Chain A
Amino acid sequence: MGSDLPEKGLVLLSSWASMFGIRVMIALEEKGLEYEYWGQDLGNKSATLLRLNPIHKKVPVLVHDGRSICESLIILQYIDETWPGADGASCFLPADPLARSRARFWADLIDKKITDAGANLWMTKGEAQAEAKKEFMESLKLLEGELGEKPYFGGETFGFVDIALVCFASWFHTYDVSGSLNMEAELPKLMAWVKRCQERESVSKALPDPLKVYDFMLILKKRYGIE
């Protein structure tokens, strides 16, 4: 892997366990786009990563023709808008403004409510963990309600909110064990939706083995000095 970014084409800086990076991988795969994958060690951040994302110093970063885009949901919209497909047929976001606003709302909720609560399920104990458990489960129940009887959040087609949430699927086992959640019983429609999404090649290729993720979590706990 060279440290020079190609002048043309796509490069994704990410890390195998990063759910946000997984979003971008799914999106690129869905659009049939070729890209170089530059795996990052987040415990020892590369000069390239720090140069391309100086403010947040995080993955994922997508580089397109030498220009970088940060923040996974922003990257998703960039990909969607740059490669809309014939008549916008392969778009993640629907055409109708109201439906788009709703998709954005739920994706934003996932970022606001699932990310930190999920992390706190394994990073904290006692009262903090109990609060995280409550917020996590309530938010997923809300999302399950939003999904309803639809095959995907996007309706008949796999879309923006589906990508925004399914990236967490490999972490569900970790959350389940850490928080004693029993997600399979509590969120049957959502778990069925996960399986449906995993039938898509874009998703199955991007999602890491949940057991690998669990072991990784244990390593992180040690690294952060968490009991």
Chain B
Amino acid sequence: MAESEDVKVLGAWMSPFVMRARIALNLKKVDYEFIAETMHPKSELLLKSNPVYKKIPVLFHKGNPICESLIIVQYIDETWTSVHPILPADPYDRAIARFWAAYIDDTWNPEVRKYSMANTDEERAVVAEKTFAGVQLLEEAFQTCGKGGNWFGGDALGYLDIALGSYLAWIRVTEKMSGLKILDGDKFPQLTAWADRFCAEEAVKGVMPETDKLLEFAAAMIARMKAASSAK
């Protein structure tokens, strides 16, 4: 067990980005204090520790704030080095893992999120097509990166597992709200099996939101967003 080094995570239960920090700390068996962010309005602590983006998560270690979830995960990996490496050892494998994590955050997830805001069947069809095209790429990436193992990281849960896995609760919510089967076991057998495996992991179980609770939250959030955009 890592000695108490004053580790805190400022975040919220529904954020996939916050989950990433918590999973990484759990894998490293690092004790930390979870500080629930108030959000509306944003706390003094958040505004002070992340003045540039004013977003969660923020990791605090020895009083120092670290921001941006994937940067936090790399910080955790580079600080607690004796337990469970998160990034692959080989520089090329690291580059590939980083590439796919960036793809998920910058390209794929923003597309998936468009579904709930789409107004017509045509718009929804375009989003669905792009979503599935992305999942196909990730199914292939799983095989390339995983090299036959159970994880994107190979034999152990790693960086890319955390990057994608943290979205699973939201993916399940999107599936329930849209009727789309995003993780279709017939089309994407490896990813579907991986998703169940990920959610069952000790380091993940306690921080993965329950789908029903998240569904309720999502419905309320989308209603607010739609009201705001139609009021313009």
Which secondary structure dominates where chain B touches chain A? helix
Interface size on B, residues (CB 8 A): 22
Chain A residues whose C-beta falls within 8 Å of the C-beta of B137 in the assembled complex: 55
- B75 in complex: contacting residue of A71, A101, A109, CB < 8 Å: A101
| A109-B52, A142-B52 as given contacts; A101 in contact with B95, CB under 8 Å | no
Interface size on A, residues (CB 8 A): 22
Bound state CA distance, A100 and B68, in angstroms?
Answer: 13
Q: Is A100 a contact partner of B74 (Cβ separation < 8 A)? A: yes
| Contacting residues of chain A (93-135) with chain B, CB-CB under 8 angstroms | 97-98, 100-101, 104-105, 108-109
- Asked if B230 CB lies within 8 Å of chain A CBs, one says no
Of A75-83, A151-159, A168-176, the one with at least 4 CB within 8 A of chain B: A75-83
Q: Is B71 a contact partner of A70 (Cβ separation < 8 A)? A: no
- Asked if B103 CB lies within 8 Å of chain A CBs, one says yes
Q: Nearest Cβ in chain A — how far from B225, in angstroms?
A: 21
Bound state CA distance, A44 and B75, in angstroms?
Answer: 40
Bound state CA distance, A104 and B76, in angstroms?
Answer: 14
- Asked if A200 CB lies within 8 Å of chain B CBs, one says no
Chain A residues whose C-beta falls within 8 Å of the C-beta of B68 in the assembled complex: 104-105, 108
Count, A-B residue pairs, CB within 8 A: 55
Bound state CA distance, A130 and B190, in angstroms?
Answer: 48
Bound state CA distance, A71 and B96, in angstroms?
Answer: 10
Q: Nearest Cβ in chain A — how far from B144, in angstroms?
A: 11
- Please give me the residue from chain B that is nearest to A80 by CB atom: B91
Interface string of A45-71 (1 = CB under 8 A from B): 000000000011000000010010111
- B91 in complex: contacting residue of A55, A78, A104, CB < 8 Å: A78
Q: Nearest Cβ in chain B — how far from A224, in angstroms?
A: 22
- Asked if B64 CB lies within 8 Å of chain A CBs, one says yes
Bound state CA distance, A134 and B137, in angstroms?
Answer: 37
| A81-B94, A109-B52 as given contacts; A104 in contact with B99, CB under 8 Å | no
- Asked if A42 CB lies within 8 Å of chain B CBs, one says no
Bound state CA distance, A56 and B134, in angstroms?
Answer: 12
Chain B residues whose C-beta falls within 8 Å of the C-beta of A77 in the assembled complex: 91, 94-95, 98
B interface residue numbers (CB < 8 A to A): 52, 61, 64, 66-68, 71-72, 74-75, 78-79, 91-92, 94-95, 98-99, 102-103, 107, 137
A interface residue numbers (CB < 8 A to B): 55-56, 64, 67, 69-71, 74-75, 77-78, 81-82, 97-98, 100-101, 104-105, 108-109, 142
